Structure 1
Amino acid sequence: MSDNGITLYDLQLASGATISPFVWATKLALGHKGFDPDIVPGGFTGIAERTGGKTERLPAIVDKGEWILDSWLIAEHLDAAYPDRPTLIGDPGIRPSAQMNEAWLWQNAVGPWMTCYLVAYRDRSLPQDHDYVTSTRERMFGNRKLEDIIVGREDRLPQISANLELLRSTLRENPWFGGETPNYTDHRLLACFLWLASVCDTPALVEDDPLRDWIDRGFDLYGGLGRHPGLSNIFGLQIRDGDPEPFNRNPVANGLSKRNTGVASTSGETARITGKATEQADA
């Protein structure tokens, strides 16, 4: 029994690794607050029975007898109930910006990655969950068989990686999305990569992806929450001739990310947009 009175209802694969990105976000939030909760294990089958009819979706925590459902409500509860511990959300503007970033990541990566890993998603689930995963995920994707949905994934994976430049551009100038330290925005986004590690039976990102530093540091947080032995290495994608570059290897600073401190600080960009850089090179 933990000494803080918090119980977390987990959603797991056969390996014991967490599958749900929303449960991952809650695990990271609890770690951020310094809590080591009691874990109630289980998969998709029997959630209502495990929770005594309180919910059929996870995550859920019980904090000193109080049930809190939904990962965002849990984070807000932890900040309100434990203001003396490190803050998760803080400024109210963090929530809408975090939700926008997370929605962008789901649209550009999590959803497309799902089409690449649905068979592994099913096969790694608890045996009693295989039918549930198959029927629900096939329905989500137009009643197509999981084996048909993943066809062509080797063509899609490099493009999904290339679509993540928004994350990379921010992390080139900031160690965390929370600035100098991680906050709940980092936890929400890292949770998507932890979900990826739970289902990827072939790597999704190249070895030298600039995201690796942030992801590795994120997986190491709170005693290595993201280092469960049931998770796969997400790095090692092999790029073939004709594939798009998996990330921008020659990023150019612009007004979205750099500070103007005078003419010298903007001269390079000015030369590029006026064509003077090309004229000088031709000369």
Structure 2
Amino acid sequence: MAENNKITLYDLQLESGATISPFVWAIKLALGHKGFDMDVVPGGFTGIMERTGGKTERLPAIVDDGEWVLDSWLIAEYLDEKYPDRPTLIGDPSIKVSAQFIEGWLWGTAVGPWMTCYVKSYRDRSLQVDHEYVTETRARMMGGKLEDIVVGREDRLPQISANLELLRGTLRSNDWFGGEAPNYVDHRLLGCFLWLASVADTPALASDDPLRDWLDRGFDLYGGLGRHPGLSDIFGLEQRPGDPELFDHNPREFGLNKRNTGPESTRAETAAIKGEAVNA
């Protein structure tokens, strides 16, 4: 049992002290979900092996009563197994499968493209000692100078926002991916947006984006874990002439997220498909 209700977490931080890793963010939320306090070990990309005594070169990592647990999925599974009397993170194994699918979609749709927009800020906000490492590794990963990679981001950001409609559609009819309360699916996805807030030096989403309600509630979870003063406001992107709509202002409901309870429930949809007027 965690001594004094505390679990040690090895963090990955920026100069501001805000967490930069979406995976560490997910575990911070997971520990909050389980009701634990955190004894945070600070640090950046440089010196992880030294800080952890050679246990790992990747974070997050936790230590619970002397037991080391690595990897953000393994940590969540460990917390559920060791503390089944506390609120469940994953529950049914199918939740992990669904989470990995939607998280993979989010990385391909937004996180990767956002990285091309914010990689210079990602480097500039890192600890000074990390600048050389981040510059070299991200330039190698992304195939160019960081200053060149971000060029044209003002044209890319509106399309990235528009591409998030699948996420908006789910959250228009559900409070959380966990249903009535958040679960580890929410934590994984919120971790991506908390990463965005850690590096965004210009807004990524419209001020009235429908995602804002879920994100605000998610950032407020567990005593406001996502309200670190080092995070940026990700809202405020403005649509320019020629940009795609930043989000669908008039979403239509189809079979993916609407129940059929008889002809009346599908009347408007059927009329739209046939090009007919809807009778009052």
State TM-score, norm by structure 2: 0.98
For residue 275 of structure 1, report the CA deviation from its aligned partner: 2.1
Name the residue aligned to 1:54.
55
| SS of aligned partner of 2:8 | strand
* Structural mapping, 1:189-204, within 5 Å: 189-204=189-204
Are 2:253 and 1:273 equivalent residues in the alignment?
A: no
8 A contact 1:5–1:64 mirrored in 2: no
* Cα distance change, pair 224–2 in 1 and its aligned pair in 2 (3 A): farther
> What is the rounded CA distance, in whole Å, between the counterparts of 1:277 and 1:36 in structure 2?
58
Measured in 2, the distance between the counterparts of 1:3 and 1:167 equals: 38
Partner in structure 1 of residue 122 of structure 2? 121
Name the structure 2 match of 1:179.
179
Structure 1: tracts of 5 or more residues without a match: none
Alpha carbons 1:2, 1:37 under 8 Å: kept: no
Distance in 1, matches of 2:265 and 2:171, equals 21
Indicate the residue corresponding to 2:164 in structure 1. 164
Letter in 2 for 1:79: D
Corresponding residue for 1:8?
9
| Counterpart in the other structure of 1:238 | 238
SS in structure 2 at match of 1:130: helix
Q: Is the 8 A contact 1:165 1:247 kept in 2?
A: yes
Distance 2:161 2:277 in 1: 30
Cα RMSD over matched residues?
Answer: 1.2
Contact 1:11–1:20 under 8 Å retained in 2:
yes
How far, CA to CA, are the matches of 2:104 and 2:259 in structure 1? Answer: 28
Kindly indicate whether the alpha-carbon contact (under 8 Å) linking 2:6 and 2:37 is maintained by their aligned counterparts in 1.
no
CA displacement 1:128-175 (0-9 Å, x = unmatched): 000000000000111x10000000000000000000001100000000
Is 1:253 aligned with 2:239? no
**4+ residue segments displaced more than 3 Å:** none
Taking the aligned partners of 1:34 and 1:197, their CA distance within structure 2 comes to 24
- Give the TM-score of the pair, scaled to structure 1: 0.97
Corresponding residue number in structure 1 for 2:24: 23
- 1:240: Cα distance to partner? 0.7
C-alpha distance in structure 2 between counterparts of 1:5 and 1:269, whole Å: 53
The 3-state SS of whatever aligns with 1:3 is helix
SS of the aligned residue for 1:87 comes to coil
Structure 2 residue matching 1:276: 3-state secondary structure:
coil
Letter of the 1:213 counterpart = D
CA displacement at 1:2 relative to structure 2: 6.8
Q: How many correspondences in the alignment?
A: 278
Residue in structure 1 matched with residue 263 of structure 2 by the alignment: 263
